[in-house]
Amino acid sequence: MDKGEEIIQPTHDLEENDSVNDNVADETRNSSELGTDDSEGKDDNSGEETTTEEESIEEEEPKLKYQRLDADVSELLKKDAASTISVSDRFIVLGTHNGDILILDFDGNFNKRLTSHTAAVTDIAIEVTEEFVASASQDGKVIIHGLFNDTKQVFNYRRPLKCISLDPDFHRKDTQRFVCGGMSGVLYLNEKALVTPVGWFGHKQDTTLQHSGEGAISAVRWKGSLIAYANDEGVKIYNIESQQRITYIKRPPNSPRADLYRCNLTWRNETTLLIGWANFIQTAFVKEYAKHEIQPGRPTQHVEVSMFQTEFIVCGIAPFNDMILVLAYLTEIMQDIGIDDSSQYKRSRAKRPELRIIDAYNEEISTDVLTLHSFQNYQANDYSLDYFPSEDMFYVVSPKDLVLAKPRDLDDHIGWLLDRSRYEEALLSLQEAQAWGGSKKFDLTDLGERYLAYLIGEEEFANAAENCNRILKNNANLWEKWVFTFANLKHLHEISPYIPYTDPKLSSTVYEMVLAHFLNYDHKTIMSWPSDIYDIQSVIVLVEGIFEKEQDNKILMECLAELYAYNRQPDKALDYNLRLLRPNVFDLIREYNLFSAVQDKVFLLMEFDQHLFEEAMKVQDEEIAKLNQDPSKTSVKIKRKKRTEMPAVQLLIENTDDVKIAHVVRQLENKRNFMHIYLDALFIKDHHAGYEFHDLQIELYAEFDYPRLKDFLKSSNYYTLEKRDLVPEMVFILGRMGNNKEALMLIIERLHDVQQAIDFAKEQDDDILWEDLLKYSLDKPRFIIGLLENLGGTNIDPIGLIKRIPNRLKIPGLKEALIKVLQDFNLQASLREGCQKILVSDSVSMADQLNKAQKRGIKCEDDLTCSICSIPIIKEAISSDSVSTTIVFFCSHAFHEACLLSNETLPNPPDSNSRMLVGSKVRHNIVLNSLNNPPKCPICNDAEHTHGEKQKEKTPSRQIRGFVRGHAHHGSRDDDGMPPMVPLRL
């Protein structure tokens, strides 16, 4: 599915045994539709009542739209499976069963892979500033990755972990706290010691917030000063500032075992916690005690909980405006959900997961069914849900799919209405939206025109005409466009009352068309009106404009013929009379002496003859059928009319002085049958007329009237084919006559040209002809050699040809011909093999070259000096106690930072006495990267060594690289595949 494509898939049309497809269903199912699957066991009358009730309910518009993120995700999940997801403001982090952490953008494009775990990733937490990503895994490890400095902190708890959450102030506090838990049942608070002798990488210490004994810690979420976590007994909330547990929310009674379904925790805000566990949804509100209610040593906060039960398993939960969005999991068998005995559970077939929007009163606002890959094979814990709060973007992940859901906007609403042909509502919505900016996708005028087109398509012409004033307003061009549309559809009378006359004023053509619109169906009207009451030329232009779109409209052609006659333009009237096939056209030509007008209309005249001839044949066939109705009587025969006797042909051959023979032949070049009829009639009238075309007539007789060819050859004295012994022409004529074998024999016996014989056989493409050529060639050595040399383009099997050569036949050059055949085949095979080897060799060589170039380092000698101040760098750094920064480029030129950046505001150097020296270096490097003009080697980039002048130029340059090879400050490579320069600290 293409990115952004939405497929509508109503829930009530889904079958349980439907094959899995790649589309995300985006159709709301209302509560009445949800009940259709549970109607089994009811009587038929009840089913009919339910169906009637459903049909009476108007279809509701979905609240969300969906998009499957294919991009790189589909490829990444072919060999792996997603296990968890976390979404930040800038990227998506996906955990897999192989232990990988995948960094993706919001379109699913792959950015980075963090590989550290040896087992499935169970939970991911992203730090607020998005500089760190923490992951928990079944291998018992917590790993915190630094995304911008490639640092990695590993904490091994030696027991499988299920959850992790970072301190919201992780980036601001040196303690860098996080909480995690898992199968050990212990909730750990891990924080860095405030004072350590080893500086930045000091040891971490764990504080136990929850001791074991109450089952595994399945979920934890940290918001502000509150930490919410879940174990087998229920959900607890801990205040990290007062270091007190403020509440304990027990697991609902009669709920499934805690280890069967994952607990889902989400903070709506600082004081509201959403809990989705099995088939229960709870909302916990953290409130402060009044001052007079606070007791010493007791928490200052308490929690109020609301709860309701669902008919599905909650796989994920998220806030949606003032409602709740839930990822629901359903199976075919739900009645065993409250049984605690694991032996009673049966693995049931899963249904498609659903995204449901529920309000605070457990009323479903919307339900969308998601068709994901292999959904029937997954359990509830295989799905995860996370969201991007600021944009209301919700991400649903299954082992092989990643789907984005987001609220529908005005464009989606209008598109949904248009898909259901509700143009009136769409137009009203768009008109109302103009007050606050309108739509980004739909134009009001364009949508109005689509509405008009829809009404016309439904043949509601009166309704469409009524809406023209509201839609077209004062746009003259649009008015003219739609007036012509109605005219073309022969419904001009519907729009005529609404056509404006002042604002806007349309062109005179439109108003004249209103006068003449009857011409579309009643051409007698124009003939009954006096021609002086309207502008004939304007009406002609109007009718011609309509005729251009309806070239086969005979009524319009009749109107134009009459109008041109009124306008004293008989030559133009003749054109339409010809196309109308009016019998009086020949009298018109003779009466007005229009031979000059028909000089370029010979083809139309011949088509007219064709029509008259066919009509005459039909009349004669009917006469013969009437005369021969009695089979007992002798059949009557009548003289058939000939094509050469038709009026158009006779007109042309009688007026050869006005319509030249050569001019006629030139116009009929592409219609050879008409050319044959004309030249044949001309030859019958006068054997000497058109003598220069008698050679051409031979071909025409051979093609269209072969029996008369012999008579023509006897009667004509103007062809010289036989006298000049033009054998190639004879070959051509014989080929056109279908006598291919005789033509081939002429080539072999008269021309003795083996190449022409082969070319002739190729042109005819006849297997029998090839066989004849082969038979005639078997006793002719020169022909055999020619066939062997042209095997590449023939239909002859080389092995069969060689086998059929007679024994003891002496063939000069046979050995060389056979060797050439073998060499041609060997050469072709050798070329293919050589090209493949060259391609592979070049690919390996270039890959090695690229690898070596990217891995090479820089050698710094003791006598290394600054290329600007010429002061030794290594020796000065060893003898001096102060911190200096040196930048070395891969061209081996080195510079003091102060020398290279003399015109820039230099960043503060790292503090040599600081306990966090590495951190200072990192921060200093980031400052260098953030300069407006990052430095480049002034020597290599300036052939004249004008360093001072180059520093004044504000031209783009390469970014300073940090400690990660190939990592640019702006996230893009600009090094052409070469290693970046390295800033050194001395």
722 — phi, psi (to 5°)?
A: -75, -35
Instruction: Provide the token pair at 697.
Output: 């007539």
> Average pLDDT, whole number, for the chain?
77
Residue 667 identity: Q
Residue 753 identity: D
pLDDT value for 652 = 85
Alpha-carbon distance values, 344 to 332, 335, 337, 340, 341 (Å):
16, 11, 10, 8, 6
CA gap 366, 358 in Å, rounded: 7
275 — phi, psi (to 5°)?
A: -125, 125
pLDDT value for 39 = 35
| Residue 885 confidence class, pLDDT cut points 50, 70, 90 | confident
pLDDT value for 701 = 80
pLDDT value for 348 = 66
Mean pLDDT of 831-858: 86
Instruction: Provide the token pair at 600.
Output: 């370029």
Check residue 441 and report its DSSP letter: S
What separation, in Å, do the N-terminal and C-terminal C-alpha atoms of the chain show? 55
Instruction: Provide the token pair at 572.
Output: 């133009």
Q: What percent of the chain has pLDDT over 90?
A: 19
pLDDT value for 55 = 42
Mean pLDDT of 281-305: 89
Buried-exposed string 140-164: b where 16+ CB fall within 10 A, e elsewhere: bbbbbbebbbebebebebebbbbbb
pLDDT value for 774 = 73
pLDDT of 40 over the 60 cut? no
Report the predicted TM-score, pTM, of the whole model to 2 decimal places: 0.49
pLDDT of 101 over the 90 cut? yes
Nearest to 379 by CA among 316, 331, 326: 331
Give the least confident one: 49-53, 129-133, 626-630: 49-53
Alpha-carbon distance values, 45 to 51, 54, 55 (Å):
10, 14, 16
Greatest mean pLDDT among 464-478, 497-511, 541-555: 464-478
pLDDT value for 627 = 79
Q: What angle do CA 424, 430, 433 make, to 5 degrees?
A: 145
pLDDT of 974 over the 80 cut? no
pLDDT value for 905 = 56
| Residue 95 confidence class, pLDDT cut points 50, 70, 90 | very high
Other Cβ atoms within 10 Å of 910 Cβ, number: 20
pLDDT value for 508 = 66
Give the least confident one: 377-386, 471-480, 941-950: 941-950
Give the least confident one: 16-25, 232-241, 303-312, 473-482: 16-25
pLDDT of 121 over the 50 cut? yes
Other Cβ atoms within 10 Å of 430 Cβ, number: 22
Mean pLDDT of 303-312: 91
pLDDT value for 297 = 80
CB–CB of 229/187 below 8 Å? yes
Give the tens place of pLDDT for each residue, 923-951: 776 776 677 677 778 888 765 444 444 44
pLDDT value for 56 = 40
Other Cβ atoms within 10 Å of 401 Cβ, number: 25
Torsion of the alpha carbons at 23, 26, 30 and 31, rounded to the nearest 10: 50
Other Cβ atoms within 10 Å of 224 Cβ, number: 15
pLDDT value for 350 = 80
CA gap 547, 487 in Å, rounded: 11
pLDDT of 9 over the 50 cut? no
pLDDT of 962 over the 60 cut? no
pLDDT of 165 over the 90 cut? yes
pLDDT value for 29 = 37
pLDDT of 807 over the 60 cut? yes
Mean pLDDT of 469-488: 87
CB–CB of 774/803 below 8 Å? no
pLDDT value for 144 = 93
| Residue 863 confidence class, pLDDT cut points 50, 70, 90 | confident
Give the tens place of pLDDT for each residue, 765-797: 777 777 777 777 777 777 777 777 666 556 666
CB–CB of 539/563 below 8 Å? yes
pLDDT of 426 over the 70 cut? yes
pLDDT value for 868 = 86
Other Cβ atoms within 10 Å of 555 Cβ, number: 15
Give the least confident one: 651-660, 662-671, 744-753: 744-753
pLDDT of 610 over the 50 cut? yes
Give the tens place of pLDDT for each residue, 390-423: 788 999 999 999 999 998 888 888 888 888 888 8
Q: Judge if the upstream peptide bond of residue 872 is cis by omega within 30 degrees of 0.
A: no
pLDDT value for 916 = 46
pLDDT of 977 over the 60 cut? no
Strand order in the sheet with 263-267: 263-267, 272-277, 280-288, 301-309
pLDDT of 51 over the 70 cut? no
Mean pLDDT of 200-224: 79
The H-assigned helical ranges of 41-137 are 44-56, 73-76
Residue with more model confidence, 303 or 3: 303
Give the tens place of pLDDT for each residue, 15-37: 333 333 344 444 333 333 333 33
pLDDT value for 526 = 54
The H-assigned helical ranges of 346-422 are 410-419
pLDDT value for 846 = 92
pLDDT value for 860 = 80
Residue with more model confidence, 725 or 417: 417
pLDDT value for 961 = 35
User: Which string of DSSP letters, residue by residue, matches 292-306?
Assistant: GG--TTS-SEEEEEE
Give the least confident one: 193-202, 259-268, 500-509, 949-958: 949-958
Exposed, middle or buried by CB within 10 Å (0-12, 13-18, 19+), for 857? exposed
pLDDT value for 333 = 47
Residue with more model confidence, 751 or 23: 751
The H-assigned helical ranges of 423-498 are 423-433, 444-457, 461-472, 476-488, 492-495
pLDDT value for 167 = 92
